[in-house]
Each structure stands twice: as C-alpha cells, then as structure tokens.
Amino acid sequence: MNKIKILPDNLANQIAAGEVVERPASVIKELAENSIDAGAKRIQIDVELGGRRLMRVVDDGAGMVRDDAILSFERHATSKIKTLEDLSKIETLGFRGEALASIASVSKVELITKTPDEIAATRVYIEGGKLRDVKEAARSQGTTITVRDLFFNTPARRKFMRSEATENYHLTNIVTHYALANPEIAFTLTNNGREILRLSPAKDLRERAYQIFGASMIESLLPVSGGREFVAKITGYVSAPRERRTTRDAQYFFINGRFVRDKIIAGGLLEGFRSVLPHGVYPVAFLFLDVPLEEIDVNVHPAKTEVRFRRSEAISQR
C-alpha cells in the first residue's frame, strides 16, 4: 500500500498558514499590504479582543471584479507576478499568492469588493477554507475584508496566542510600521471600538512620525542620508545620543518600502552608535533603504519580512 499521498488542499493551506499567520498582527500585515498595493488612500483597521474575535480592513483602493474576488482565495493566485523573471524585480509588497488562502483556511472571512466600473460589489464568504457564499452586495469602490474567529478550527494554534494586551501591542506595531512607510495614506486603527490611531495624510516621514510619537521624540531626531545608488541608498532619521531606549522596539527598518527585520541593518546601526551609547542601550531609528531590485531577494520566507542581499557586506558598510 502506498504510504505517500498528496495532501488535500485544505490541509495544505493550514500548513501554509502556520508560516504566514503567526498571530493576528500577521493577518493585518498581509491585508494592509494588499490595500497599499491596490492604491488605497485611506485604510481603516478595526480589531476586537486582540484580533481573536474580529479583524477588519477597509480601503478605498482599486477593488476587484467578481471572478478575481473568488480566485484571490486560491493558493498561489496573484496579480503581482506572472513569469519567473518577475521574481527578480518585485516592486509590490505582496506577490506570493498565499496570504488570503492561508488566512481563510484558519478563520471565517468575508470579502466585499468593488471596482469603479462595476455596478454592484461582490461579497465572498469563506469558512475554514471552504467557499460558502458568493453574491452581490452594496459598497463604494474599494475592498473590505473581515476576519472572524481566528484559528477557530485549529485549537492548538489558538492556545498559543498570547494575552490580549500582547496581541494588541503587535497589532499597533504593525500598523505603525506601514503608516511610517506610507505617510501619504490616511490610517485609522480602532481596538474594541476605541480609537488608537487616526492619521491624516502627511507630507513626509517626519510629519508622520510627529503624528504618531509626538513632538518630544521628533526634536531628538537627526536626518540620515547616504549610500551608493547601485548598491543601496539610505534615508531616514536616527535619534541623538540623549534619546535612549532599553529595547529595539523603536527601530523601524524598510527596504524599498517593505517593512523588514534584518540583522545586517540592525547591526550596522548599533555599530554606528557603539562609541556613544553604553551596552544594552539602543537608539531610535526610522531607516529606509532603496536597493536595486536585482540586488535583493525578497522571496525568502512566506511572511516576507526577511530579505537576502546579493552583496551583504557592501550593505553593512553603507
């Protein structure tokens, strides 16, 4: 009897979800990236019970037609890339075509979307990865995605979720990241009906940082600019030595507008402050690297927060 079998799609999606959907903040990250890629100018995010009960992202982006709305929940369905060559020049935040399928496999998802040319919006409802309903709905241009009861069908994953306060911290942090990276977009975040962030469009990074962190931090920031165009150019702000933190929580790194966690950037920043900050103390940083697409690989992990540089030593020296 054969021992090797092909996994059912639903089970394969749940396995993939283990990498993509680490916690509620992972869901908000993927949905916010889709909104940004869709050209949204306003993004509203609502969460309840640390994302366990509900997460909703509402945007005024391009929207989708009916067939695309249904197809978007299939694994590896994406509008971002079409050929192998596209992988070497990824300009969008999303591209793998895994996020919606993974999210829908471990939650109850309602998608309502409309393009400017359609008369009616399309509503798609999926529960545990199974398509339950498709029908017309009312909505202006854009997309609303509501995710309810995360991990309802994978209780082992649900047990590993942290406290509501911890999940709320990560949710606020991820929204802060994308608000910093996109100051021209208005962001609103509500938690259990209470407004946490309301950010109107800002003219630049400094104004957006002021909206989020206030005047006291802004006064301590020093502008950063440098690098080489064919390797990496860097812009942003770092704090003066008097602004000190005991954790790296106030360090925000972006590569080509993508939020990343990168040891090379973090190490280079720490090295630059080694002579002015004592051990165990960290600077505030908002650093944006502009890297030629052929110099970087963003297809390292499904979460898309890790990258691989073609010339990592040159990056660390910039």
3-state secondary structure of 194: strand
Query: Where does the chain have alpha helices with state H?
Result: 9-20, 24-37, 66-71, 99-105, 155-159, 164-181, 205-213, 215-218, 263-273, 312-317
Q: Which residue has the tokens 């910039």?
A: 318
Does residue 57 carry a pLDDT above 90?
Answer: yes
Is the sign of the CA dihedral 283, 284, 290, 293 positive or negative?
positive
For the chain, how big is the Rg over CA atoms in Å? 20
Output the pLDDT for position 137.
96
Q: How many angstroms separate the CA atoms of 94 and 32, rounded?
A: 10
CATH of 9-199, one of 3.30.565.10, 3.40.50.150, 3.40.50.1100, 3.30.365.10: 3.30.565.10
Output the pLDDT for position 158.
82
Q: Which range is least confidently modeled, 31-35, 103-107, 115-119, 297-301?
A: 297-301
| pTM confidence score | 0.85
- The number of C-alpha atoms within 13 Å of 179 and in the hemisphere containing its C-beta is 29
Contacts of 77 (CB under 8 A, 6+ apart): 71, 97, 101
Mean pLDDT within 13-33 = 80
Domains 9-199 and 215-317 share a fold: no
Does residue 131 carry a pLDDT above 70?
Answer: yes
Domain boundaries, the chain: 9-199, 215-317
Looking at domain 215-317, its CATH architecture is 2-Layer Sandwich (3.30)
Mean pLDDT within 132-158 = 93
Does residue 157 carry a pLDDT above 90?
Answer: no
Output the pLDDT for position 295.
75
Output the pLDDT for position 315.
61
Q: How many angstroms separate the CA atoms of 78 and 87, rounded?
A: 13
3-state secondary structure of 178: helix
Does residue 192 carry a pLDDT above 70?
Answer: yes
3-state secondary structure of 266: helix
Rounded percentage of the chain residues whose pLDDT exceeds 70: 81
Q: Which range is least confidently modeled, 16-20, 46-50, 105-109?
A: 16-20
Does residue 87 carry a pLDDT above 70?
Answer: no
- Select from 137, 133, 77 the least CA-distant residue to 109: 133
Q: How many angstroms separate the CA atoms of 123 and 139, rounded?
A: 10
Q: Which residue has the tokens 């299939």?
A: 74
- What's the angle, vertex CA 176, arms to CA 99 and CA 97, rounded to 5? 10
Q: Could you report the per-residue pLDDT of 118-130, keeping only the tens digit for each?
A: 999 999 999 999 9
Output the pLDDT for position 313.
61
Q: What are phi and psi of 233, to 5 degrees?
A: -110, 140
Tokens standing for residue 303:
């979460």
Output the pLDDT for position 316.
59
Tokens standing for residue 285:
């940083």
